[in-house]
Structure 1
Amino acid sequence: MPLTLLSAGYPEDTMRSLTDRLPCRETQVTSLLALMGEPDQYSYPSIFIYGHRSTGKSHVVLSIMKDLEIPHASVDCVECVSPRLLFHQVLLAFFGPDAAALLPRCPSLSDFVRLYKQMKDHATQTRYIILDKAERMRDMDFSLLPVLLRLQELVDDNVTVILLSEIVWEKFRPNTGCFEPLLFHFPDYSKAELVQILSQDHHPSYTPELYASYINILLGVFFSVCRDLRELRHLAALNFPKFCEPLEKGEATESDIHKLWRNIEPHLQRAMQTVYLREVSSIQWEQQQMDEKEATTPRGLSAHAHIELPYYSKFLLIAAYLASYNPARTDRRFFVKSHGKLKKTNFLKKHEKTSNHLLGPKPFPLDRLLAIFYSVVDSRVAPTASIFSQITSLVILQLLTLVGHDDQLDSPKYKCAVSLDFIIAISRTVSFDVVKYLYDFL
C-alpha cells in the first residue's frame, strides 16, 4: 500500500478495497488523494481532469468519493442543460431539498452564491462539486465557468470544483480569462492494461486462462482502431460465443488456440464494421449471423445495411460516394446531359487509370457534393437548412468524415466512409443504380 494513501487519514482496508476495484489506476488514485489532502484541510479551488473517453476519469473520482464517504455533488452536464439545473443539483446534494426549493425560477450566479453562503454550516470537511462532461458548459452562460473555478473564494467555504472533460484545457479555457485550475491527465490504457481489466470479466463456464487468450486475440484485431474500454468490453461479450463454438461442438479443446482463432477470425472481420456504432446487441448480432447463412443476399453486406436513413440523406450519401470515388473531371460525363462523346482514357492522367476503389476515398468540397446531389435526386430540392443538417447527421453517424480543421467554415471537405456493398444496398432502397455512375465500372 503506498504511503501517500495510508497518510491520508482513511481506513487502510477501505483504501485497499478501493485500489483493488480500480485496476491499472493506482497511480491516479494516489495522485488525486495527494491533491485532496487531509479531509479537514482546504483543498485547491478547482481541478481539471482530462483524458480520452473510457479512461476511468468519472469512475475513479466517484469511487473515491463514495468509498471514502466524502461529501460531494455529482452533476452530469449532459442532463443539466441550464445553470438552474446545475445549481439545483448542487444545493440538493449539500443542503437538502429545502435549500434547493429556495432557488428562484431563473436564478443568477449571485442568487446561487447567496443561497450557498446562507445555507452553509460550520462543517470543516471539504465538499466537492464534480462536473462530468464539463465541455458542455461551454454552451452555457460565459460567466458560469469562471465563477465555478473560484467558487471557494466567493462562498468562503471549503469547496472544490472538479471538472471532468475529454478535451484539453487549452480548448476549454474561456477567451475572457479565468482562474487556472490544477490540470490532471488520465492517459489511455495500454494493451497490457486492457488485457488485465477485460480478463476480469471471464465467463464462469470457462477457465480464466481461456478468456485471457480470447482477449489477447480480440485486442490483436481491434486495438489499432479502438482504445475505448466500454466499446472493447461490448465487443468481447458480443463475440465470445462464436469463439467458444468449437468447444461446445467438441471439435477443439481449450489448448487449441490456433483452431479457435481460425474459427473466429472471419467473424471478427465482420464485427470490425460495427465498432462504435452499437447497431446491435449481443443477441441481435448472433441472430443476424444465423440469418446471413440462410439469406440469398451477398454475405459481404455489413450491419450498416440495416441503418434506416431519411430519404434525402440516402441521396446525399450516394452523392458523397460518387464524389469520393469518381475523378472530378468525370462529373460532366455523368451528370451533364449534353456532354458530348468522351473517351475514358483521353481525359485522365496516367495514375488515375488505377482503380479508385483500390486507392480509397478522396476528399471533396461541399459545393461538389451538393452539385452531384441535385443531379441524382429525382425531384427538385431547395437548398434549405434541412439539407445541411442532414450532412451534419451523416458526419455524426460516421458515414461521412469531415476532412481538415474545424475552423474551415467557408470550404469544408468530406470523405465518404462506407463500403461499396453498403452504398449499393442504400441505392436499392431508392431505386437508383449507383454502379452506372461509377467510373471504375465503365
Structure 2
Amino acid sequence: MQSFKHLKYPEEALLQLEGLVPCRESQVSTLLSIFGERQHFSFPSLFIYGHASSGKTYVMQTLLKTLELPHVFVSCNECFTSRLLLEEILRQLQRLSSTGEDLAPASCDSFNDFVHLFKQGTTTPSLQNQTIYVVLDNAEQLREMEANILPGFLRLQELTDRNVTVVLLSEIVWELLRPTTGCLEPMPLYFPDYSIGHLQKILSHDHPPEYSFDFYAAYINILLGVFYPVCRDLKELRHLAVINFSKYCEPVIQGKANERDTRRLWKNIESHLKNAMQTVYLREISSSQWEQSREDGESGQLKGLSAHAHVELPYYSKFLLIAAYLASYNPARTDKRFFVKHRGTIRKKKVQKKQEKTSNHLLGPKAFPLDRLLAILHSIIDSRVAPTANIFSQITSLVTLQLLTLVGHDDPLNGPRYKCSVSLDFIRGISRTVSFDITKYLYDFL
C-alpha cells in the first residue's frame, strides 16, 4: 500500500483497507493502480475472475466502501432479466445522486433507455467530478440475457460519455463470456484460490475473545489438515470451524487438558471431524441442529448425520446415483469384471486383487465421464434405459442437489465429467430402497 500514498485517498482508509483484505494485497494494489485518482477517467471495463470463495466480491465491496467511491453493486443472480438488472442499476444510481428524498423507481424497457436515463442520473456535480463504478456480480448470467446487454456494458463509458467503469465479477474465464459482436475487451484480473497458508491466516483471525490467538490457530491447523484435501471453499471452512470449535474446547472446559495439550485435544475431536466430513457441502442439518445433536450425545449426532439417507429420489435417479458412486470409487479397469454380464448374472470368475497402496475410499472420489456413468447405469438396472432428455435432466437435478459434482465441463471434446459427493452410508441407504447390494460391486470390498 505504500506505493499509493501519492493518490488522493485518505491515509487512514488505505491503512484500514490493508487490514480488511488479508492475503489479497497484490490484487488490491493492482485495482488501486487501475482506479487512479477520483477525478481521472478509469479503464472502461474490468473483468475479475476466479473460483468461488476466492475473495472477488468481498474485496470489491470492501475497497469501494472503505475508500467511499461512488458505486452501484448488483448481483446478476438476483436480477435475472435485463429489465430487472437495468432498473436496479438506475435505482441505486438515483440514491447516489439524490439528496435523500425518495424518488419514483426508474422504468427501463431497453438498453437505449438505460443509456439515456444513466446520463440524466449522473448530471449532479458530486458524480460528474469522480469515477462511478458499476459492479456486476455473477456476470456469467449475462449470457442468458439479450445479445446487446454485455457489449453495451463494456462500452458504457463510450455510450454515455461519463466517467464510469463497469466491473464484471465471474467464476468463468473471459473466453466463455466474450460476446460474438460489438466486444470491447475488458482488462482481466485473476483472483487465485487461497493457499492453505492463506486460509490458516484468515480463519485464525476469527478466534473468540475468550480464547488466545495461538489456541484457535492450532485448532484451525487441525481443521485444515482434515478438510483442506476435499474442500477449499473459505465460506464452507469458516462454517465448519464455527460448528466444531465447541467440541474441540470440551477437554479444556472440563479441566482434562490445557490449551497446549494438542494431542489430547485432537483425540477428542478426531471422530467428530470424521462425521462432519461426510456433510461437507450437503447441509442436511442446520448449525443449530448440529449443536443440538452433539449435546444429545454420540447417538443423537449419528442420527442427525444419517438423516439425509432418507431422502426421496425418483427411481432412475437412485440408480444414477448408485452408478455415479461406483464410477467414482471403482478403478475404470475393473468395469469389465463387475459390469460385463453373462446370462444375466455377474461373472463368478475370481481374479486375484492387485496390491493397492491405499483404499479408494480413503483417496476420495475420482472424476468420471458421462458415457461411463451411462454404461454402468445400463448394466445395473433391470431394463435398458435409453439416454433420453429425462435421464439427462435427472443428472442435472442430482448436480443441483449437490449429490453429484460437475467438473471439467469446459472441454467440448471430452464432454462433462462428474464426481459423486455422497458417503458410503448414504449410498447404502439409497441402495436398500431399490434392493441393490452395492458392496458386491465395490472394488474395495473384494
TM-superposition CA deviations, 1:290-345 (whole Å, max 9, x none): 5673379899x767536443444223223444566473354354xx7x44895423
What is the aligned counterpart of 1:318 among 312, 315, 322? Answer: 322
> Match for residue 58 of structure 2?
59
> Match for residue 387 of structure 1?
391
Superposed counterparts of 1:187-266, under 5 Å: 187-266=192-271
Q: 3-state DSSP class of the match of 2:133? A: strand
Once residues 2 and 443 of structure 2 are traced to their aligned partners in structure 1, the CA distance between those partners, rounded to angstroms, is: 65
1:91 and 1:99 in contact (8 A); partners too: no
Once residues 265 and 387 of structure 1 are traced to their aligned partners in structure 2, the CA distance between those partners, rounded to angstroms, is: 40
Tell me which amino acid in the other structure corresponds to 1:26. E
Tell me which amino acid in the other structure corresponds to 2:22. P
Tell me which amino acid in the other structure corresponds to 2:424. L
1:371 aligns with 2:375: no
TM-superposition CA deviations, 1:381-423 (whole Å, max 9, x none): 8876343211122234443355765455897665545443322
1:146 aligns with 2:151: yes
Once residues 365 and 209 of structure 1 are traced to their aligned partners in structure 2, the CA distance between those partners, rounded to angstroms, is: 48
Once residues 345 and 119 of structure 2 are traced to their aligned partners in structure 1, the CA distance between those partners, rounded to angstroms, is: 80
1:137/1:297 CA distance change after superposition, 3 Å: closer
1:33/1:306 CA distance change after superposition, 3 Å: farther
Q: 3-state DSSP class of the match of 1:276? A: coil
Once residues 414 and 158 of structure 1 are traced to their aligned partners in structure 2, the CA distance between those partners, rounded to angstroms, is: 45
Once residues 217 and 346 of structure 2 are traced to their aligned partners in structure 1, the CA distance between those partners, rounded to angstroms, is: 62
Q: Tell me the CA shift for residue 233 of structure 1.
A: 0.8
Once residues 217 and 9 of structure 1 are traced to their aligned partners in structure 2, the CA distance between those partners, rounded to angstroms, is: 44
> Match for residue 116 of structure 1?
118
1:414/1:102 CA distance change after superposition, 3 Å: closer
1:277 aligns with 2:279: no
Once residues 277 and 409 of structure 1 are traced to their aligned partners in structure 2, the CA distance between those partners, rounded to angstroms, is: 30
Tell me which amino acid in the other structure corresponds to 1:21. L
Instruction: Give unmatched runs, 5+ long, in structure 2.
Output: 96-101
1:320/1:170 CA distance change after superposition, 3 Å: closer
> Match for residue 99 of structure 2?
none
Tell me which amino acid in the other structure corresponds to 1:116. F
Tell me which amino acid in the other structure corresponds to 2:165. T
1:83 and 1:140 in contact (8 A); partners too: yes
Q: Tell me the CA shift for residue 278 of structure 1.
A: 2.9
Tell me which amino acid in the other structure corresponds to 1:231. E
> Match for residue 106 of structure 2?
101
1:319 and 1:372 in contact (8 A); partners too: no
1:366 and 1:411 in contact (8 A); partners too: no
Once residues 184 and 417 of structure 2 are traced to their aligned partners in structure 1, the CA distance between those partners, rounded to angstroms, is: 37
Once residues 48 and 267 of structure 1 are traced to their aligned partners in structure 2, the CA distance between those partners, rounded to angstroms, is: 42
Tell me which amino acid in the other structure corresponds to 2:251. P
Once residues 415 and 171 of structure 2 are traced to their aligned partners in structure 1, the CA distance between those partners, rounded to angstroms, is: 27
Tell me which amino acid in the other structure corresponds to 2:336. A
What is the aligned counterpart of 1:169 among 170, 174, 178? Answer: 174
Tell me which amino acid in the other structure corresponds to 2:40. Q
Once residues 245 and 111 of structure 1 are traced to their aligned partners in structure 2, the CA distance between those partners, rounded to angstroms, is: 62
1:297/1:112 CA distance change after superposition, 3 Å: closer
1:92 aligns with 2:100: no
1:294 aligns with 2:333: no
Instruction: Give unmatched runs, 5+ long, in structure 1.
Output: none
Q: 3-state DSSP class of the match of 1:201? A: coil
Q: 3-state DSSP class of the match of 1:327? A: helix
Once residues 86 and 341 of structure 1 are traced to their aligned partners in structure 2, the CA distance between those partners, rounded to angstroms, is: 56
Q: Count the aligned residue pairs.
A: 427
Superposed counterparts of 1:358-437, under 5 Å: 358-359=359-360, 363=368, 365-372=372-379, 374-375=381-382, 385-401=389-405, 405-407=409-411, 416-435=420-439
> Match for residue 339 of structure 2?
331
Q: Tell me the CA shift for residue 212 of structure 1.
A: 1.4
TM-superposition CA deviations, 1:235-291 (whole Å, max 9, x none): 110110111111122110112112111211222222222222233333322334456
Once residues 383 and 392 of structure 1 are traced to their aligned partners in structure 2, the CA distance between those partners, rounded to angstroms, is: 13
1:323 and 1:368 in contact (8 A); partners too: no
Q: Which moved more, 1:285-294 or 1:18-27?
A: 285-294
> Match for residue 2 of structure 1?
2
2:318 and 2:430 in contact (8 A); partners too: yes
1:160 aligns with 2:160: no
Tell me which amino acid in the other structure corresponds to 1:109. F
1:323 and 1:372 in contact (8 A); partners too: no
Alignment RMSD: 3.5
Once residues 345 and 70 of structure 2 are traced to their aligned partners in structure 1, the CA distance between those partners, rounded to angstroms, is: 77
Tell me which amino acid in the other structure corresponds to 1:60. V
1:365 and 1:414 in contact (8 A); partners too: no
Once residues 341 and 113 of structure 1 are traced to their aligned partners in structure 2, the CA distance between those partners, rounded to angstroms, is: 67
Once residues 137 and 341 of structure 1 are traced to their aligned partners in structure 2, the CA distance between those partners, rounded to angstroms, is: 49
Q: Percent identity over the alignment? A: 56
Once residues 339 and 430 of structure 1 are traced to their aligned partners in structure 2, the CA distance between those partners, rounded to angstroms, is: 18
TM-score by length of 1: 0.84
Q: 3-state DSSP class of the match of 1:148? A: helix
Once residues 233 and 439 of structure 1 are traced to their aligned partners in structure 2, the CA distance between those partners, rounded to angstroms, is: 35
1:209/1:341 CA distance change after superposition, 3 Å: closer
TM-superposition CA deviations, 1:113-143 (whole Å, max 9, x none): 1222344305221111000111111221222
Tell me which amino acid in the other structure corresponds to 1:2. Q
Once residues 414 and 262 of structure 2 are traced to their aligned partners in structure 1, the CA distance between those partners, rounded to angstroms, is: 54
Once residues 407 and 27 of structure 2 are traced to their aligned partners in structure 1, the CA distance between those partners, rounded to angstroms, is: 35
Q: Tell me the CA shift for residue 24 of structure 1.
A: 2.7
